[in-house]
Amino acid sequence: MMGIGFEDIKVNGLKADDMSKIFNGVNKFYADYPQMKGFVKVFTTVNRKKDLMVAATTNSLKHYDDDDWSKWAMMPELKVNRAQLADFQALNEQQIATGFWVKTKDYTGTINHEMGHMINLKRTFDAHGINAGPIPHDRHDQYLPAMHDFGTSKVDDEVMREAFKSANIEYSKDNIAKYISRYGATDPAEAFAEAISNEDPDNVITKYVKQITKRELEKNDRTAP
Ligand SMILES: [Zn+2]
């Protein structure tokens, strides 16, 4: 996939147009955050008509060898809901109008939101000294604290806290709803993902969230010369 880094792609029924739109979005994100390149290993689609879910990414722990059930891997996954692609623009406009979603112009914003979750998954792995990919047999236990931190949105919360502090605005659910989106106010991980995907150039919280994130990713830049 031209260096995009997916190792496993399962995309039943996805239109070629949508696929290239999504891959272009991922490539553009990797250009903005080069340390993330190749972090997402799996790309799949689901088809859930009654579900508002656009894409889910958080479950990355996968069993990968049917002959050996003790073999597990961390395989960060981008999952797209095909059912929403056809009328995504209408849904997006409606959600932005009510302030539930942050301002984005098209599906690229959704990719950026999901990749926002991936940033903090990678930063959590970095903090625990672990990588995506197969988990060595004798190290299963070391992955549990990392998944706990990711599950409790530890990194997301730290970044949001620092961003609000830098902007001199009180860090509260009301202010997340006001400065980011109401969806962002549901959970620090969603606040972060909404902030990263926010396309309003004048949003002060978003500006700090991106700055802090780039600074932190650079600290663990294993691709730097
Ligand atoms: Zn999300």
Query: How far, in Å, from the CA of 17 to the mean position of ligand 1?
Result: 24
Tens-place pLDDT, residues 131-156? 888 888 777 777 889 989 999 999 99
Query: How far, in Å, from the CA of 68 to the mean position of ligand 1?
Result: 33
Written as six digits, the tokens of 22 are 């999504």
Residue in 93, 102, 118, 111 with CA at minimum distance from that of residue 22: 111
Query: How far, in Å, from the CA of 150 to the mean position of ligand 1?
Result: 13
> Rounded mean pLDDT of 174-200?
96
- In three-state secondary structure terms, 42 is strand
Tell me the C-alpha distance between 162 and 139, whole Å: 33
pLDDT of residue 223: 56
Residue 225 lies in a domain: no
Residue in 140, 143, 114 with CA at minimum distance from that of residue 39: 114
pLDDT of residue 225: 46
Query: How far, in Å, from the CA of 189 to the mean position of ligand 1?
Result: 7
Confidence of residue 3 (pLDDT cuts 50, 70, 90): low
Query: How far, in Å, from the CA of 53 to the mean position of ligand 1?
Result: 9
User: Which amino acid is present at 74?
Assistant: M
pLDDT of residue 48: 82
Confidence of residue 65 (pLDDT cuts 50, 70, 90): confident
Confidence of residue 10 (pLDDT cuts 50, 70, 90): confident
Q: Which domain holds residue 192?
A: 8-89+100-219
Residue 118 lies in a domain: yes
Burial classification of residue 224, based on how many CB atoms lie within 10 Å of its CB (0-12 exposed, 13-18 middle, 19 or more buried): exposed
Residue 85 lies in a domain: yes
Residue 136 lies in a domain: yes
Tell me the C-alpha distance between 219 and 174, whole Å: 32
Using an 8 Å Cβ cutoff, are 222 and 125 in contact?
no
The model's pTM: 0.90
> Rounded mean pLDDT of 111-116?
94
Residue 224 lies in a domain: no
CA of 87: how far to CAs of 46, 92, 187, 211, in Å? 16, 9, 26, 33
Residue 203 lies in a domain: yes
User: Which amino acid is present at 213?
Assistant: T
Domain CATH code at residue 52: 3.40.390
Note residues around ion ligand 1 (Cβ under 5 angstroms): 190, 193
Confidence of residue 52 (pLDDT cuts 50, 70, 90): low
> Is the pLDDT at 58 greater than 70, yes or no?
no
Query: How far, in Å, from the CA of 57 to the mean position of ligand 1?
Result: 8
Query: How far, in Å, from the CA of 8 to the mean position of ligand 1?
Result: 22
- 108, containing H or E segment: helix 107-128
User: Which amino acid is present at 51?
Assistant: D
Number of domains the chain is built from:
1
The residues near 27 (Cβ < 8 Å, ≥ 6 apart) are 4
Query: How far, in Å, from the CA of 202 to the mean position of ligand 1?
Result: 22
C-alpha dihedral over 152, 106, 197, 42, to 10 degrees? 50
Query: How far, in Å, from the CA of 110 to the mean position of ligand 1?
Result: 9
Residue 18 lies in a domain: yes
pLDDT of residue 4: 78
Residue 22 lies in a domain: yes
Query: How far, in Å, from the CA of 191 to the mean position of ligand 1?
Result: 8
Query: How far, in Å, from the CA of 63 to the mean position of ligand 1?
Result: 24
Query: How far, in Å, from the CA of 194 to the mean position of ligand 1?
Result: 7
Query: How far, in Å, from the CA of 115 to the mean position of ligand 1?
Result: 9
